[in-house]
Chain A
């Protein structure tokens, strides 16, 4: 990691820590959702951006994570924080298992298979078999967690919205560090190699079947943790919150933010959280038409996503140091 990147990262984290004290509670809640989406998008980007496996079904893993958390809190009385790792583990397994048959599918066919996963999730959640635990069409209402007592004891006063924001921020930081470790190392190189040239990757000794399934698992784990956090933040889960539209929204997020980019997850999360709101303010009659215009504008102006545009911008600012030595080419 270069010094510049470290400095910028530390400044951003510092800014993220200060935010809940300068904005309203509602904005804090929205920013918590940005963190939730950023985690989900990071997960989807590991699969689609880095490993080249398209998924139109990540809303399903988000739903599994959300329901795992909600049911554990509602039925088993588990504390909210303990549900996060369990939701992650459940989705890791679910993603890995879904990744196994998905090995035989590529491109558009994989897109269709994952689409099937997304459309089947709401009816599964509504089904009578699960109704006892899932609450059927009604869903489950969750109590908003209070800040832990030890914070008040040491004199830090937070309201529940602020606390939840910091809770999400801590989890997001841990998951981004893990994501960074995975991507910028042996695993990340293998995942990109598989995306760039499957046959050559295998010839280099990469167990492509295992890596692709594990990429699916890890990706689903991230999205599942995001789902659990999202459920706790929104205090409610219901089948119709997790339609195929959520899956598409996540895909929009990684493309707008920047495919195969860790920071792209944050840009994408800001986009999918705030642009629909802005669109709604601009036109009550046709907010999604306005959203569509925004989307086309972003993709047209930044074809490699916001992250790609930022990279190009920084590259232009630091020209000479960053550009490759063209004259050295033979």
Chain B
């Protein structure tokens, strides 16, 4: 058991969340091993995004524990999560709409850069240096995600699919070890869905990422994931390789109704 605990990068244990009378999560447990892409599936309202929000500390758990790299996240303030190495994207885009693409990605690097109000007000050398590094790193990421030509464009002026790539770049700017992707393919056309799948796989290799992904596009999720966890009504109903979970009677029932 101890050896296993050492292996999991993210360990979700018996997590329960209640909103008033509604049980959003009801004792969910699973592990995410390092280097894996783990898919989280389930019908609407199954608790997938709630779980994401628990991991990024937007919601408090009523019960259970979430540990990242062996350390419980439940006492970590929200703004420290990114610094620990957990990056995320949002279901319906949460970009800084008035800012340029480059600035958005640079904000993503906030937790890896230094210099507070005082150091920036006086342009102290270390703050200037840190800012220059952040800019270089952000430009590198824009190149990787094919966003270079939009660097100075206001993010709100870009098409939806491009904005999704900007959000991905912003999440990667903090050099996360664990990346949480909340419906990376939603709102994308057929061609873009294929491209995003390849991109996610390529990023995992290149940046040695561990990825937890929520996705309704079954084909994409099954082809992308090494391991799949299925939720329904806040409970884990199945877990296994994509091939195993696909055939699982509970899952079939959850999607088709019993």
Contacts and interface: CB of A to CB of B under 8 A. Distances in A.
Contacts of B153: 324
Contacts of B131: 185-186
Contacts, number: 106
B116 to A, nearest CB: 7
A4 to B, nearest CB: 16
Contacts of B234: none
Contacts of A195: 98
A208 interface: yes
A192 B99 contact: yes
A325 B107 CA distance: 24
A258 B23 CA distance: 47
Secondary structure of the B contact surface, majority rule: helix
B120 A182 contact: yes
Interface in A172-222: 178, 181-182, 185-187, 189-190, 192-193, 195-197, 199-208, 214, 218
Contacts of B174: 204-205
Residue of B107, B113, B122, B174 ringed by the most chain A CB atoms within 10 A: B107
A148 interface: no
A186 B113 contact: yes
Given A205-B80, A205-B110, A324-B152, A182 B117 contact: yes
B46 interface: no
A200 B79 contact: no
Residue of B81, B95, B121, B157 ringed by the most chain A CB atoms within 10 A: B121
B170 A186 contact: no
B112 to A, nearest CB: 8
B74 interface: no
A328 interface: yes
Contacts of A285: none
Given A203-B82, A328-B149, A190 B98 contact: no
Interface in A212-247: 214, 218
B116 A187 contact: yes
Contact of B79 (A185, A186, A202, A324): A202
Interface of A: 178, 181-182, 185-187, 189-190, 192-193, 195-197, 199-208, 214, 218, 260, 324-325, 328-330
5 pairs of A and B residues whose beta carbons are closest in the complex: A205-B111, A205-B82, A200-B94, A196-B96, A207-B79
20 contacts: A185-B120, A185-B127, A187-B115, A187-B117, A189-B110, A193-B107, A193-B110, A196-B95, A197-B96, A197-B97, A200-B95, A202-B78, A202-B79, A203-B88, A203-B94, A205-B81, A205-B174, A324-B157, A329-B158, A330-B162
